[in-house]
Chains A and B, each alone.
Chain A
């Protein structure tokens, strides 16, 4: 089966309560998002910054945007895609932190500049770990943060994906952020 059809099928199954479907879905979505991220680079229109949410939307349109994908499928897709995006970004942040330095003939002396990327990489890893602790206390709030921060979803999109009200997401987001900032030792500068 092609990945599009497979993902749509798994989304439907998961929507009907099949938890195993999620386990099969996650690697597919992860790989697809990662592949799209790479392809976006080599494509013709190279945006200088690509928001995660743009990537997720594009993946959704491609994978589940077929005529028979339901509103339920869309909700579920966003839920899975945000988790996958979190994992992709955390993995990338970790590999960046431990990544090998250039060791070829030329060494970029431009390296001395500390780019914003390194700062975000550290932030992402610290947040990921704190978020795992929040998940143990309050699953939904951890999902709100995952969708807002890692998936780049708006408050409204998050509410739609979680099937709760905008007011609830607003309240969850505020408390969860505050809790995480406190957990991470007073937050950033």
Chain B
């Protein structure tokens, strides 16, 4: 039979068999040639999946709403006037804007359809309100949050500077500078924890260093809207690789967060510990070739004492960093204790 005739036969048998009980299908297919029969059986097995039942509405909405620079200079979001696009992320954009008196702000727009669930939206609103109550010289101030036709927005203090990631990439940080930044970061964390606000995603990308050396932590309480972090394999499960978006954060994630436990202040201390370790030694404590290597390192690789990696790191700092990176959250110092140790050491030097 020609391929075309086969295809017509396959089609006819598929429709004839699809609504029959399974045992009656066998009789129907008995007369077909082996290849036709195999094809029909394989199709019958695949029937009933709900995959692509509906048009890709999220993607279409994304196409419409997520054009680079969807908001243009002069447009208004709340009382703020857009100046320029700063960056585009998976869930929205950040713009430079200004308020009616001309004071610059960073405006973060969260696109509603890009958020995983309505629950996450509600949490975003709660967290944004809580974060706006935080006022500390080392924390980027949330000025206002609200809703607009473009999506939910957060207006934040505009901070000129570069991210801590860029600072680390630029080269080794000298000992006095490292101590100063460590104290500033620890003060930010202690202040937030005192107000019962967790960061949940401390990493070098979320810290900005101003040209005058002042350190500012960004996005308190706003990270990780999805709750416990889940590893999502590539959506068709073909390669089984860990999606790229997670890997940046992975390096600063505490073992208990991996296990899916609810974030606590000790998890923030762990993340800060990993970041300070990297600053002091120039090496990440859990560096690995692949995300799975990183998992393994965080879960079970012993952390080398910082002083073994770089000469001149004093024993107090050695001990403090190792305690912050303890696998047992209960054994880690609280953020204000980290401040205390750093202050005492600073006074001594």
Which residues of chain A are near B56, meaning CB under 8 Å? 52, 89, 93, 120, 123-124, 149-150
- A150 closest partner in B (C-beta): B55
26 A-B Cβ contacts within 8 A? A38-B67, A50-B57, A50-B64, A89-B63, A106-B106, A106-B108, A107-B205, A107-B206, A109-B224, A110-B110, A110-B225, A113-B116, A113-B226, A114-B116, A114-B245, A115-B90, A115-B91, A115-B113, A116-B113, A116-B114, A119-B58, A123-B51, A175-B11, A177-B51, A185-B236, A188-B49
| B49 in contact with A137 (CB, 8 Å) | no
Q: Which of A70-78, A97-105, A155-163 contacts B (4 or more CB under 8 A)?
A: A97-105
Any A CB within 8 A of the CB of B150: yes
| Complexed CA–CA distance, A50 and B58 (Å) | 8
| A-contacting residues, B48-82, CB 8 Å | 49-52, 55-65, 67, 70, 72, 75
| B90 in contact with A41 (CB, 8 Å) | no
Any B CB within 8 A of the CB of A122: yes
Count of chain B residues near A, Cβ 8 A: 76
- Point out the residue from A42, A106, A126, A188 that lies within 8 Å of B70, measured CB to CB: A42
| Complexed CA–CA distance, A107 and B206 (Å) | 7
| B235 in contact with A137 (CB, 8 Å) | no
List 10 other contacts, CB 8 Å, given A37-B63, A112-B226.
Answer: A92-B63, A93-B56, A102-B87, A106-B108, A108-B94, A110-B89, A113-B115, A116-B116, A117-B114, A122-B235
| A177 in contact with B52 (CB, 8 Å) | yes
Which residues of chain A are near B222, meaning CB under 8 Å? 109-110
Which residues of chain B are near A124, meaning CB under 8 Å? 56, 59
Which residues of chain B are near A40, meaning CB under 8 Å? 64
Going nearest first, the 4 A-B pairs with the smallest beta carbon separation are A108-B89, A104-B87, A102-B87, A187-B51
- Point out the residue from A116, A117, A185, A188 that lies within 8 Å of B238, measured CB to CB: A185
Interface residues of A (CB under 8 A from B): 37-38, 40-42, 46, 48-53, 55, 88-89, 92-93, 96, 101-124, 126-127, 137-138, 148-152, 171, 174-175, 177-182, 184-188
Which residues of chain B are near A181, meaning CB under 8 Å? 46, 49, 51-52
| B236 in contact with A50 (CB, 8 Å) | no
Which residues of chain B are near A96, meaning CB under 8 Å? 59, 62
Any A CB within 8 A of the CB of B229: yes
- Point out the residue from B42, B58, B218, B236 that lies within 8 Å of A106, measured CB to CB: B218
Any A CB within 8 A of the CB of B331: no
